[in-house]
Amino acid sequence: MSDLKRIIPCLDVNDGRVVKGTNFIDIRDAGDPVELAERYDAEGADELVFLDITASHEGRDTIVELARRTAENVFIPFTIGGGIRSVEDAKAVLGAGADKVAVNSAALKRPELLGELAEVFGSQCVVIAIDAKKKEDGTYGVFLNGGRVETGRDAIEWAKEATSLGAGEILLTSMDRDGTNIGYELELTRAVARATDVPVIASGGAGELSHLTEAIEEGEADAVLCASIFHYGQFTVGQAKKHMAMHGIPVRV
């Protein structure tokens, strides 16, 4: 029996509120991440990712509160990313009920953080989030701040290094595809999946259900991250699962 492939809705959160609105008619408060998360759990989402983009330091407590409220109402694994810079930061959200933390820029600045987190919580709790963008020479670079700052690192090399340091999963976002709805960057996804031996979550570009099956079949991803195709009610998680199952991909139904 093959592993069940996962569908993971992603919510961008600022000061405790969902950044992009949603148009679910049966949701009372489209800005409440917990209400949206409950909806995705009921629809059959396998996991959830919350990416905190709160800029202010004072706003940081809101993400712990979010983890706390999510754990009271949502009974699938969830990951908190954004602003996790230390074991203490991770302890706060994991203690509140989150299952994993995703780290991005903090691990680029101080790669040892991955080992510290794995040591304390186990590598199954540590997700390395990588924002990659194709360069003119055809390789993929690692970028920061939404693709504006190039780090000089190669995405595939960084994926290998990060997993050897302690990351147990890779959340791989194509900055070229993010927000485009034209499909995942399959070449990048496949290259990272083949170069590492941990699960790869494909992210950035989903616009059609066929994109999800492509990411699994051609991109060799273990999971697909989706935002807008679910948030705006274009498709439900259930429809996505049905589509994947019809194409012979093992999913939880």
Partner 1 sequence: MGSSPQLAILDYGMGNLRSVEKALEKVGARAFVTSDEEEIAAADGLILPGVGAFPKAMERIRELELDRMLREAVERDVPVLGICLGLQLLFDSTIELGGAEGLGLLTGDVVQVPAGGRKIPHIGWAEVTWEKPDPLINGLRPGEPLYFVHSFVVSPTEDELVGTASYGSRFACVAGKGKVWGVQFHPEKSSAAGLRLLRNFKEICS
Q: Which residues are catalytic?
A: 12, 131
**Residue 114: phi, psi to the nearest 5?**
-60, -45
Structural tokens at position 162? 């990060």
- Give the whole-angstrom CA distance, residue 187 versus residue 75: 34
- Give the whole-angstrom CA distance, residue 36 versus residue 24: 9
Q: Which 4-23 positions form the footprint of partner 1 (CB under 8 A)?
A: 4, 6
Choose which of 95, 146, 179, 233 interacts with partner 1 (CB under 8 A): 95
Binding mask 185-204 for partner 1 (x = CB under 8 A): ------------xxx-----
**111 close to 165: Cβ distance less than 8 angstroms:** yes
Under DSSP, is residue 18 helix (H, G, I), strand (E, B) or coil? strand
Binding mask 46-85 for partner 1 (x = CB under 8 A): x---------------------x--xxx-xxx--------
Choose which of 12, 52, 99, 131 interacts with partner 1 (CB under 8 A): 99
Binding mask 119-138 for partner 1 (x = CB under 8 A): ---x-x--------------
Residue count of the chain: 253
CA 85 from centre of chain: 17
Q: Which residues bind partner 1 (CB under 8 A)?
A: 1, 3-4, 6, 41-42, 44, 46, 68, 71-73, 75-77, 94-97, 99, 122, 124, 168, 197-199, 252
